[in-house]
Structures are given as structure tokens and as C-alpha cells.
Structure 1
């Protein structure tokens, strides 16, 4: 048998180093362009990165060919010479698909490399009586719809991430989602082979974690320590410390909805008693306020298509939450009592988190975002009352910047950031 020719050890190491250096430099150039406040030129990039102009030009050419960058009209120059061609992230290349499955709705968001939402769809449906297989089949329909929209807009799906309200392992196994009635549901096994994913697999994570990541990247610099509270039928929390998502030893941190605020209180779906979500969850607030949703039937996708100018309308909360906002705006006593009681319970739980973790911001997301005007003052009062350091280290309580679809946006953003951080992987993909 003929033996393959030996490769000198030094040559192999050199080849690896060259490949690693190219990957590093591709990411460096792409990050510079993504962070720039105006489209930089090749010369600007060379000056900012310390790379030679020839190296920058070669890297930029590769990124343009891979549909990660596009050239734009030259920016005006004050000095002599021809204006330089600017570079910006491509709006016609890879895109991330973010999905969310929650107790009473499904959502899908398609985001391009620059972070622009190119497609958004929401389907209102009560998933509690629906099996995991049937629920994920509905998610599959939304994947198909989003894929068709991506094709129409000349976008290539770079990946897909799904947000789930429950305990999710690193492999995408949903150990427990009590409000959905799920236990040990292997989501990638059930949905990962969907043809709309293009063979690129499916990431699965806790919805509050993905929402917190989305909020982290949407917030202004300096927003590095906060707890994101996702208020829905259940309540989850995403914890960000020093600019990094804190997952806990096994990746299951953030189940604030099952922190007891009344140890001998109302029974919870998790099997405990007096859990926060029994007092501050969406259904608890609506019931206390005397506001209920009509039966949550699957009325089909409520897809919000692009306007002529390319913009997309923001999603609106469910009908019952909208009615609650209206009632609170009219100062109706039942609505006011319900919101104060929910905010008091929420403040008690959040104060305990702050005493333990010393975060400086509380972000109210999910249905809490449109209700923040009424919830925040009472939550702040409980924090001042219960947090040991509150007198000299105040805590900010604010609504989420991303609104009600933060989890789906965070999921899509996680895909896009992977491309931005590792462009060489994208360029090396077959059929990208």
C-alpha cells in the first residue's frame, strides 16, 4: 500500500497558525465595521486595526464575496484626494431566525446581519392542552413561513434559535416547562430535521436568558449588571453579571417565578406553594383585575409584513393585557389593586435577588414592559425597603428596550452574533 507523503511538522503548525490568524483578522475587521458610527473605508480599517492596507483589502474582498459586507457610496472628505468607498454590514446576506414558544403564543423574528428586523410573526394560541409534538409542529409552520420570507428578501438563514419557558440543557433537552406541561422533551430530535432549517440545526435556550442577551446588546454601554424579569403566564429571569449571562452551575438559573413569596400560599403548577407567579404572573394579575382573555383559539398566524418603507410594526400585547393597560390608564380601582399587589410580590422576590447578587438594574420584560408605568414604583419601594444597600446604592427599575418580543429577538440576535464573531466559519460553509 502506498503511504501518504509526510508533512513536515513545522509546515503543519505554520498552516494552523496562518488559518487562525486569518480567522482572527476577519473577525477583527468585521467587528470594526459593525461598531462604527459611519461606514469606514479600507484605509480607516487599516489605521484602526494596525493591519496593512493590502491585508485589509484582501480580508474585505473575502467578506464582500461571502455577502457579509457591502460597499456604499463614498463618504464626504474634507481633505484632498478622492473620497473613499465605505463599508457596511450586508443587508442581503446571512440572517438569524429567532423563535419563541410560550404558554399562550408563538413568535418568529427574522433579523439581518445589521440587526434589522426583516420579518415578524405572532400566533396567539393556548398551548397548555397541546402536546409537545403538536406544539413543535406549529413552530415548524412558522419556520417554513420565515424561510419563504427570507428567500423573498434574498437572505440566507444562518441558523435558528428557539426560546422556551423552562429548564433547558446544553443539548436542547427541555427538562421541565411546568406551565406548558413539558417534561424531558428533546426539542432538537423533534424539530431539528425540519427542512426549513437548511441542515444547520436548532439552538434551544431558556426564554428569559435569550431575552436578557438581547437586552444586553440593545442597552447602552455600561449596562453590564442587571436582572431581566420576563413576565408572562410564568415568570423567568435572565441574570447578567459583568456583561455575561449567568447560567448557574447546571445552566438552570433564573427561575424566579418559583421563588416563594407566601410559603403557605396558593398551590403552583410546579408542585410548590406560594410561588411568585401565582401572585405576579399574567393570569394572576388579570384575574385579580377582573380582566380575562377570550378563549385562546388558534386563529392562524398573525404575520406582520413589511411596510412599503421596509419598516415593521412592533408587536402588541394580548387583548386582555391591552384591556388591563386601558383600565389602569382610567384609574379603575380593580386594575390598580391588581397591579399594586403583583408589584409588591415581585418587589419582594427581586429584593432578595439584589441582596444576593448586587445588580444595579431591574428590567421589566414580557407583559411587564407595557405595565411598567404602574409596576415600577411599587417594585422600587419594596427594593428601598428590603435591600440592605439601597440607601447609598440605588437600583434602577425600567421597561425592556426590546419590548414584548425580546426573547425572539434575543434568539435571532444570538445567531447573528455568532456570524459576526466567527465569520470564517460562515465563509467556509458549503452552499452558504
Structure 2
């Protein structure tokens, strides 16, 4: 919980006192009225545009127009048909030392915007994850552009919610700004705290092939559902203490997210599949993948002997636990269990992860945050940007001295 030092206030008899108020809900106002109004205007418009992953075109176009009106140079990078990353910078300085980034896609379904002005609760799909970060970042950067001589840029990507194809595309973009950014500030809901790291990720799909038959004569077929059930039971044993752990991130978790199989109750299932998400607290994706393969060795052998088969598909390379810089004075810190675009941006750079709102309401039908969380985020992003600019100034001095 942060405290803010307020101005010295004169008392009736001419002396002064310093007031410190807490928590942030007691501070009013945090920003000038015009700044708050612009923040709320931007946040609202972003939420009102439905941008579920794969449908980010409209929000990207609107955001591009908005940034151009704020005197940014804007470039759109096509990721796939009608899907664009938005890269913006001031003036002609395309390659900047500092990059501020978040994502403009959301999970389904769409929930409309609302603002309860009695409680100052603002909700709707993306209000927290991550359009709250996007709005606060833009307003924060606008207030510091002149001070930083426009040595800062913005990147808003598509596809973060389904594997990060937007950030991967930017990372490998042939026109990516060079030299690469030295400090990157990422936006995700972090309860207004700096994240010191998050778990790794591995996504798997188990595919099972059997043989269809009439359910009255099951011995004439090979049930893919039976094979898959046996495989999942083996993985239940594995996840109960058989996966890597660490003091920093706790236990590795394994979620059976989507299970499909068969066509009807009276038909022996010919195919079945299960999509699995593993959040790594330790080890590497390869280590965990090898553990899964070992756990299912006997199930696969039995399936093949019966005339079926079992295949384990890695949906992507995945990544191990991600350590993130959190050495900025005055911020509370935490680690989180969700994945981000942080490990997907290639290159050597100092990286921070911060944003307003809580992950516990993200992806839900009650996704919302308080207005003052947004306002505080503008102040905190400015603090992070200033801290990042000092890091860059120090590096420049070191290079000049060599």
C-alpha cells in the first residue's frame, strides 16, 4: 500500500504540517481534472470497441487515429489479415531507448462499458486486462515526452491472449527499430505493484486415435475416450508432486483445459483429445515435456497394441519461469502465475511489468477497477519511465567514458 506526501498546509496560527494519506482511495485528486478526463475518455473508447483476439482491427485503427492526433508518428505492422500491431513514437526518433507496451486484444465474451459514478467503479471487457494499462501508459507518456526529448515509444500488440503472435511478430519484424530498446515497460494487471517474475508456460495437446464401433459390441472397436481417460489419470498422478517447484514461484500447475472425444453415446469413440496448460514454477519446458512423455509411455504402448495410438503435441516451444526487474524504489512487489508477452520480445533489455487492476477479476463477467487505480497507474508509469530514463543516462555515460 503506497503513501503520498501532500503539500505542506498552513494552519490558522501560521505554522505548517505535512499530511500523509493512505490508501490511494483517500487521495483526491491524484491528477489534474483535464488529465483525468482524457484518461477516462481514452479508457472508455478502448473498452467500447470489441477486440476479442482475431478481431482487433477496429480497435487498432481507432487507436492509431487517436495517437496521430496526439502528434505521434504511427506505424501499423500487419501480423495477419486485418490484424495490426500499433507502434508509435514522437517526431522522427523511431529507435528509442525506452519502449512502453501492452496488448489490445481481450478474451471472450464481450462485456459492455460501464462507469458507476457513485462508487467510481469502471468495468467492461478489457477494463483491467489490459486496456487499463494501455490508457494509463499513453497518458503517462504524453506527460513526459518533452522531458525525455521523445526518446520513448509505444507498442500495442494483438494476440497476447492466445499465444502472443503479435509480440512474436514484432520481435522478428524485419523493420523492427534498431538498435533495440534498452528498457521495456510492459502493462498487465498487477494490482499496482511491480512484478519480480512469473511462471513459465508449456501448452500441450494429447491426440488419441482409436477405432469406431457400435457401442453394443465395444470389443470390435478401440475407445479413444478410454485411452484418453487413462492418460489423464496418469497426468493427475504426475501433477500431484511430480512436477518441478521453486521457492520463488511455488508449485508447477497443470490444467486440463479442453477435453473432446467421440460423436455419440452409442458409438465407440474413434478420436479424442485434451488441451493442457502447464504453468512452470521451475525447470524448463523440455524437462516437463519429457516428464509427460515418460508418464504416458505405458498408455501409448497399450493404445498401439490395441490398434490405436496416442500422440503428444507441443503447441509452442513454451518458456521457463521469467525473472523480471523490480528494483525501483517505492513500489511493492509480487510474483504472478499468469503468462505475459515479456519473454516473447527478443533482445537484451531491462524489463518491468506493472499495471492497474487485479488479475483475479480479469477474464470474468465482473472485470472492473476503480477510477483512482487508473489515475495512480498514470503516476506510477511516469515514475517507472523516469527511473528507466536514469538507467539509460547512466549507461550512456559509461559508454562515453570508455
Give the strand-richer structure, 1 or 2. Answer: 2
TM-score class, shorter-chain normalisation, is: under 0.3
Normalising by structure 1, we get a TM-score of: 0.25
Give the helix-richer structure, 1 or 2. Answer: 1
Which gives a bigger RCO, structure 1 or 2 (Cα 8 Å, sep 6+)? 2
Normalising by structure 2, we get a TM-score of: 0.27
